[in-house]
């Protein structure tokens, strides 16, 4: 396990939070997000704490800036800086073990709340209903509208930026650790599987396990996903995610078999010269002369073609 340096602010020691906001990051700068969350401090009365995990960025300048920001915050806050990367699942498990609240709000560092009462909405939901698991939703409201991100924007708008009513029809499918509230006893019963490495699917697989034992509810308390990727970067993440998808499919075949990506992967598995097809699909997704919709479709097929080797 990595060595951890810990920095806490003056408000930390005496706080008795009901909600712990857990923010992991790697090579991002969460300073702006921390400032936006801290703007709600007066309305929360010490009932919400922030714990930020630097998962091995190894940037002393960024660490110094964050330590200064943490010290200045009105919200109770702690910074954990790891010497080496532990990965998404282990990092979130570490954050949960450091939390003091009875409810854990997982929030990615590239998210930005869409409403000024974002934390208050979560705190009110906890006080009123204490849900086992609740997902607040994604948006693209504040995301960069640049041509190089057009394909990712199209993909996210179609598959991720879905309202609570629609998400509730398949509650375990629309669960991402980017705006996710989990009651502590639920997380202690079902932690993230540290066998998932790299990028992708550890949160959905966790939700599949949890949904068998606890209700998963969906609410409309969205945050914008600022971290849109270029086609090249997104294709790289898909390549990382293939083993994770296979791991999830082997554990939850009855759920994953209904996914369009799984059905497409099984069909593509029969295609001769699949590596050549993958190259063509990736090139099509990168081709700026094609319509964005066609490029997005090509990238979805490229992902399915990658997953064909894993299922």
pLDDT digits (tens, 9 = 90+) for 198-251: 788 888 898 899 999 999 999 999 999 898 999 999 999 999 999 999 999 999
Residues 26, 77 within the same domain: yes
Is the pTM value of this prediction over 0.85?
Answer: yes
Q: Which of 189, 205, 228 is the last residue of a domain?
A: 228
- pLDDT digit string, tens, across residues 251-268: 999 999 999 999 999 999
Pair 250, 267 in one domain: yes
The reply to whether 157 and 71 lie within a common domain is yes
Report d(CA 310, CA 250) in Å as an integer: 10
Q: Which residue range(s) make up the domain with 91?
A: 4-228
What pLDDT shows up at residue 194?
78
**What are the tens digits of pLDDT across the range 34-91?**
999 999 999 999 999 999 998 888 788 988 999 999 999 999 999 998 888 777 778 8
The C-alpha atoms of residue 121 and residue 33 are separated, in whole angstroms, by 17
99 pLDDT tier (thresholds 50, 70, 90): very high
Q: Is the pLDDT of residue 1 over 70?
A: no
Token pair 């960025």: residue: 57
pLDDT score of 67 = 92
| One domain, residues 132 and 118 | yes
If asked whether residues 25 and 47 sit together in one domain, one would say yes
Domain containing residue 28: CATH number: 3.90.550.10
Are residues 209 and 252 located together in one domain of the fold? no
Question: How many domains does the structure of the chain reveal?
Answer: 2
> What's residue 4's pLDDT?
83
Residues 158 and 272 in one domain: no
Mean pLDDT across the stretch 134-158? Answer: 94
Is 242 found in the same domain as 180? Answer: no
Separation of alpha carbons 132 and 249, rounded Å:
24
Mean confidence (pLDDT) of the chain: 92
pLDDT value at residue 84:
86
Specify whether 220 is located in the same domain as 301. Answer: no
On whether both 219 and 178 belong to a single domain, the answer is yes
Indicate the residue among 228, 258, 277 that finishes a domain.
228
One domain, residues 126 and 112: yes
**At residue 115, does pLDDT exceed 90?**
yes
Answer positive or negative: Cα dihedral of 195, 189, 225, 163: positive
Residue finishing a domain among 196, 228, 260? 228
pLDDT at 14: 93
Residue 28 has pLDDT above 90, yes or no: no
> 40 or 93, which is more confident?
40
Q: Say yes or no: 19 and 128 in one domain.
A: yes
């Amino acid at each position: 396990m990595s060595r951890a340096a810990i920095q806490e602010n003056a408000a930390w020691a005496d706080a008795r939070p009901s909600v712990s906001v857990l923010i992991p990051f790697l090579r991002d700068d969460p300073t702006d997000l921390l400032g936006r969350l801290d703007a709600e401090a007066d309305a929360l009365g010490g009932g919400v704490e922030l714990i930020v995990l630097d998962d091995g960025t190894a940037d002393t300048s960024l660490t110094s800036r964050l330590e200064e920001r943490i010290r200045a915050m009105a919200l109770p806050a702690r910074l954990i800086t790891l010497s080496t990367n532990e990965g998404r699942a282990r990092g979130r498990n570490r954050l949960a073990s450091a939390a003091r609240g009875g409810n854990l709000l997982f929030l990615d560092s590239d998210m930005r709340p869409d409403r000024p009462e974002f934390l208050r909405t979560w705190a009110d939901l906890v006080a009123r209903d204490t849900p086992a698991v609740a997902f607040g939703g994604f948006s693209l409201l504040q995301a960069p509208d640049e041509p190089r991100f057009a394909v990712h924007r199209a993909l996210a708008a179609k598959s991720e930026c879905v309202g609570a009513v629609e998400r509730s029809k398949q509650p375990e499918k629309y669960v991402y650790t980017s705006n996710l509230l989990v009651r502590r006893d639920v997380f202690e019963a079902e932690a993230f599987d540290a066998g998932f490495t790299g990028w992708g699917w550890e949160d959905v697989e966790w939700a599949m396990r949890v949904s068998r034992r606890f209700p998963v509810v969906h609410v409309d308390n969205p945050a914008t996903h600022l971290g849109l990727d270029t086609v090249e970067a997104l294709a790289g993440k898909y390549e990382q995610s293939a083993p994770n998808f296979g791991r999830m499919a082997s554990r939850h075949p009855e759920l994953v078999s209904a996914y369009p990506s799984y059905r497409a992967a099984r069909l593509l598995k029969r295609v001769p010269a699949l590596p050549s097809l993958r190259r063509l699909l990736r090139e099509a997704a990168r081709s700026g002369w094609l319509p964005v919709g066609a490029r997005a479709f090509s990238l979805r097929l490229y992902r399915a073609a990658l997953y064909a080797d894993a299922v």
